[in-house]
Structure 1
Amino acid sequence: MSSTNLTEAKYNMKSVWSLSFNASLGNFILGYNMGVFTSCQPCVSATLEWGSNKDIYIMFMAAILSLGAMFGSMCSGTIARRYGRRKALMITDMLIIIGCGITIIPYTPGFAIGRIVTGFAVGIYTCVVPIYIRETAPVEVAGKVGGLVQLQITSGIVISYCLALALPTNDYDSDPLNYLWMALFGFQSLFAVLQFFILLTIFRRDTPQWLVEKGRYDEALVSLKDIYNDNEADTVFKRLKSNNKRSVVEVDRQSLIKGDEEPSYGEIIKCQNGLSKMVRLGILISLFQQFSGINAILSFSTTIFNSIGGTTFMSRVYTCVVGIVNMASTLGIFPLVERTGRKKLTLIGGVGMTVCLFLMGFFYDIGKDLGHAPPIICILAFIVFYEGSIGPICWIYSGEILASRAMSVCMFLNWLWTFIVILTFSPLVTLITMPGAFFVYAGVNLLGFFYFYFDMVETKGLDKGQIWTLLVKKQNL
């Protein structure tokens, strides 16, 4: 029997992709939220009458989504552990619907509250979706399927950019299309309703690993049989039970005494019981992902393209091109992540992003006589390297190495880094100019390359129990 037929006999890839795609709709909503405000800023400002304080409000409203997401990600571990991964997603869908309803009220405090509520929700998505996919997908395809997380984020971004092309580019106070931004902010709620309905009616069981952790063995076996054939489901079930017991003993002895199956928040923060390597990797891969410069480019892409040269409409077109390249580049990760491995892709991307950012700074200022094309090409090349490396790998890798509590801590910090990057980008440009900001981010990416070269552990082809054991054995602090 060929390897392909053997794989097809062991598990149903159609079921794996369907479960994972539905879960990753949460990341589509996340990406949509990241992109929708970028091109709507003049319209929102005019409707809410921000006037001369427009720049301050825009910076604050762009950053406040990350602020809400920080707290959402911190609560996600508790929600996912107590109610399960499936119900956590359903709770988050309801929060998105509520947040959208508040956001479209034409009142500045309401807009801010709506951004915080939707931010809180997407913070939960960032933690729960990778864990759900990792605990659902077979080990052999977990990395490939995990690429859906970043693909959906980039899809949400590009859809928000393209829809914003219908918005006016001037006469915001008199053009009736100006109020179209409200429909754009409400659009994401349709995907929350869709995911909620599918989880309610079709995918009605939680992940096998969560069910095993809760001692609900019969339900776990049934959940496994939704994906695997009977014999393979029995094999995976036995492995999950064994890994659950072994990971408790090897990774977290204090939790075993308490009858808990994973480290407490205190143990994670203090890096006790051999957790230092795991926590360090989880925190730093999030830090280097966000300080790569990607969120500065995506959140202020229209502003950046305006400063390079062009009308408001053309800046939106360039922003759409960025979004399309962003999404298309993510497709390349699917075949590469299992073939090449997480570490090698991260290192290649780190070098590529460093070079692109340095050239962006050079062409923006010193090489400006060459026209607009070189810096725009460098931005697009940067995005290709980002989406082929640390962009999706951060989510894949975090879902592989971290338990739900550790995931919530690291995603809290991920959103904290995002908040800092968005809040400081404009002051940084004012202080050291746009090229200077690009050079700073280039330095961060170079530093990240050396860190991952020496400290990152390859997880290709390993299940979570094997990964935890490997990290404990390799921990050196």
Structure 2
Amino acid sequence: MALFYVEGLPIGWIAIMLALLASMGGFIFGYDTGQISDILLMDDFVLRFAQCGDPTNISTCQFSVVREGLIVALLSIGTLVGALLGAPTADRLGRRYAMTVECGVFMIGVIIQITTFHSWVQFAIGRLVSGLGVGSLSAAVPMYQAETAPPQIRGTLTATYQLFITFGILVAYCISIGAREIPGSGSWRTVVGIGLLWPIILGIGILFMPESPRWLAAHGRFDQAKRSIALARGISAEEADDHPLIHREIEGMRSAIDYESKVKAGWLECFNPERKQLYRTLFGMTLQMFQQLTGANYFFYYGATIFLSVGISDSFVTQIILGAVNFVCTFGGMYVMEKFGRRWPLIIGGMWQSAWLFVFAAAGTAKDPTTDQSIGKLMIVSACLFILGYAMTWAPGVWILIGETFPTRTRARQASLSTASNWLWNFLLAFFTPFIVKAIGYRYGFIFAACNLTGAVIVYFFLYESSDLSLESVDMMYCDPSCKPWTSRRWAPPGFRDRRDFIQQGRAAEAGKPLEEARLEHAEEKGAGKGPYAGASPKEAGEP
């Protein structure tokens, strides 16, 4: 039974549950990201793993930039490799079983970390192994969500991955502030060890969710694909075979698969210029690169150290404030990406983020924040406003696009290459940030400000608007030579006036009603102040 309706079409509770459960992969990612900045400041961790003049006196201990960079950044090397392994794993085992295996790999890495006594190398290797699991999940989860979610709410459901990343970061901060009072190694071992709980929830829970209908269809299992779509739509098994909505989606998949079966789908196909495959692969990798170059992880990885340097007495508390802003604003991001599409939120977000990073860097460069309290406060406010913009635009938007930009036959591989780009730049920033900050201080923010502006320009000239379209229609749009990125918001398949007309006719077909009857219903809803076109003119509503 449908939980609710969007644009008159049913949405089942399973669609919500599978998105939330799969997003535990994002929570694992976020928790692992958030914990390390606070662990680096815990007394026992510093005494065990830093370079100390007197092993009993913490004031004589300090991490070298190389050691600190490797402890933080080796996770990203693991995730880079894991992201590339995620494609063949997800294609061979299916999206669900792949996630279960990847959760097991992550748990092995956690065990290696918590069994460390005095070897920082072992701890770093544990983060490397955990990274293999995190990287594979970061490729599999958005792909599974995009392939399974109903198109009407695909943006919102895929954005839950980013929401759970921010939630994981916030939870890591909160657990760290409590665990720091535990004597001895219990402080950091507790924070790391609790990380075993999250993959258990995902690895077992995902097995009770339906498999991706597109993966099932690609393997010729159309009956199971119908049942998977029916579950997501809240349609009973008895109705599934004859329901027009399911029939329409299955036929779209069948047509796409029939075409794709004639084309080789190896790794080289990702770099084929035909059908804009090379374009989409490179653009996906570029988007993920610029998501890192926004500078967000500068605050998440080294935030505690940054705020300590601007004179904040308890940087753990400031980290929680920053994490809370990130988490809460991601709810706004889910609304923004569904309401306003993909292009303009990323463009405006890039400009907003650039402005506040410029303020952050200028303030820290103009005066010493450790001696001027007002400058320190301005820097924290500007960091929070930067995170506000990031959480509402680039953070969820890029993961949504990675899930919906590529065709079925190469989606797993292209998603893996794009995600690998994210982790490569994640590693470069995590490792080299201590060196760069030591050399240029807060002027580092000017570099990130320039990168945000560049990202906004690239989005304007190269990103196609994919909101409201099925994944098969997105593929058609990219292959239409008459469609340009800046005109893509109005694009619709041949035979339709514009996108609204396409959506309206699709709604009529899925509801099993004649188009004119559906249009009359739209007109009645509009007159009553209801529906998606309430208050719109007949032309705006796509009516003749």
TM above 0.5, one fold? yes
2:194 counterpart of 1:193: no
**Displacement after TM superposition at 1:241 (Å):** 4.1
2:301 counterpart of 1:299: yes
Q: 1:87 aligns with which of 87, 94, 97?
A: 97
2:65 counterpart of 1:61: no
1:290 match: 292
Contact 1:96-1:118 within 8 A present in 2 as well: yes
**Displacement after TM superposition at 1:53 (Å):** 4.8
Q: Distance in 2 between matches of 1:336 and 1:405?
A: 28
What are the Cα deviations for residues 313-364 of structure 1, in whole angstroms up to 9, with x where unaligned? x111111111111101101022222211111111111110010000001111
Q: Distance in 2 between matches of 1:232 and 1:360?
A: 55
The one-letter amino acid paired with 1:85 is R
Unaligned runs of 5+ in 1: 170-174
1:106-255 equivalences under 5 Å are 106=116, 107-168=119-180, 176-200=183-207, 202-203=208-209, 205-228=210-233, 229-230=235-236, 234-247=243-256
Q: Distance in 1 between matches of 2:51 and 2:11?
A: 54
1:279 match: 281
**Displacement after TM superposition at 1:168 (Å):** 4.3
Q: Distance in 2 between matches of 1:449 and 1:94?
A: 38
What are the Cα deviations for residues 132-167 of structure 1, in whole angstroms up to 9, with x where unaligned? 111111000010111211110000001111111134
2:396 counterpart of 1:384: no
1:422 match: 430
What are the Cα deviations for residues 184-222 of structure 1, in whole angstroms up to 9, with x where unaligned? 11112111111222234x32x311111011101121122
2:538 match: none
For the residue of structure 2 that corresponds to 1:192, the secondary structure is helix
Contact 2:4-2:11 within 8 A present in 1 as well: no
For the residue of structure 2 that corresponds to 1:423, the secondary structure is helix
Q: Distance in 2 between matches of 1:437 and 1:257?
A: 46
Q: Distance in 1 between matches of 2:167 and 2:293?
A: 22
**Displacement after TM superposition at 1:232 (Å):** 6.8
Q: Distance in 2 between matches of 1:291 and 1:111?
A: 27
Change in 2 beyond 3 A, CA 1:168/1:138: closer
Structure showing greater radius of gyration is 2
Q: Distance in 2 between matches of 1:431 and 1:105?
A: 35
Structure with greater contact order relative to length (CA < 8 Å, sep ≥ 6)? 1
What are the Cα deviations for residues 34-72 of structure 1, in whole angstroms up to 9, with x where unaligned? 111110013323233543554422211111000000000
Change in 2 beyond 3 A, CA 1:82/1:90: same
1:28 match: 27
Contact 2:355-2:449 within 8 A present in 1 as well: yes
2:357 match: 357
Change in 2 beyond 3 A, CA 1:249/1:216: closer
**Displacement after TM superposition at 1:75 (Å):** 0.6
1:45 match: 46
Change in 2 beyond 3 A, CA 1:431/1:108: closer
What's the C-alpha RMSD, in Å, of the aligned pairs? 2.4
Change in 2 beyond 3 A, CA 1:257/1:279: closer
1:331 match: 331
Q: Distance in 1 between matches of 2:4 and 2:33?
A: 41
Q: 1:461 aligns with which of 464, 468, 479?
A: 468
**Displacement after TM superposition at 1:247 (Å):** 3.8
Q: Distance in 1 between matches of 2:184 and 2:102?
A: 31
* 230-239 vs 134-143, which moves further: 230-239
Q: 2:452 aligns with which of 428, 445, 449?
A: 445
Change in 2 beyond 3 A, CA 1:178/1:310: farther
Count of equivalent residues: 458
For the residue of structure 2 that corresponds to 1:274, the secondary structure is helix
Q: Distance in 1 between matches of 2:131 and 2:377?
A: 35
2:508 match: none
**Displacement after TM superposition at 1:178 (Å):** 4.2
Change in 2 beyond 3 A, CA 1:277/1:257: closer
Q: Distance in 2 between matches of 1:77 and 1:286?
A: 17
* 348-357 vs 240-249, which moves further: 240-249
Change in 2 beyond 3 A, CA 1:424/1:219: same
Q: Distance in 1 between matches of 2:50 and 2:433?
A: 24
For the residue of structure 2 that corresponds to 1:11, the secondary structure is strand
**Displacement after TM superposition at 1:238 (Å):** 3.6
Q: 1:71 aligns with which of 61, 71, 81?
A: 81
The one-letter amino acid paired with 1:214 is H
**Displacement after TM superposition at 1:122 (Å):** 0.5
Contact 2:86-2:140 within 8 A present in 1 as well: yes
* 369-378 vs 391-400, which moves further: 369-378
For the residue of structure 2 that corresponds to 1:460, the secondary structure is coil
For the residue of structure 1 that corresponds to 2:276, the secondary structure is coil
The one-letter amino acid paired with 2:262 is L
What are the Cα deviations for residues 97-147 of structure 1, in whole angstroms up to 9, with x where unaligned? 211111111233321221011101010111111111111110000101112
Change in 2 beyond 3 A, CA 1:257/1:400: closer
Q: Distance in 1 between matches of 2:4 and 2:192?
A: 45
Identical aligned residues as a percent: 27
Contact 2:227-2:240 within 8 A present in 1 as well: no
Q: Distance in 2 between matches of 1:96 and 1:320?
A: 25
Q: Distance in 2 between matches of 1:26 and 1:320?
A: 21
**Displacement after TM superposition at 1:297 (Å):** 1.4
Change in 2 beyond 3 A, CA 1:473/1:50: farther
What are the Cα deviations for residues 257-290 of structure 1, in whole angstroms up to 9, with x where unaligned? 44xxxx3211214545531331232111111100
Q: Distance in 1 between matches of 2:293 and 2:375?
A: 28
* Higher share in helix: 1
Query: TM-score by structure 1 length?
Result: 0.90
Q: Distance in 1 between matches of 2:11 and 2:350?
A: 35
1:397 match: 401
The one-letter amino acid paired with 1:243 is G
Change in 2 beyond 3 A, CA 1:417/1:294: same
Q: Distance in 1 between matches of 2:179 and 2:95?
A: 38
Change in 2 beyond 3 A, CA 1:58/1:49: closer
The one-letter amino acid paired with 1:48 is F
2:418 match: 410
For the residue of structure 2 that corresponds to 1:371, the secondary structure is helix
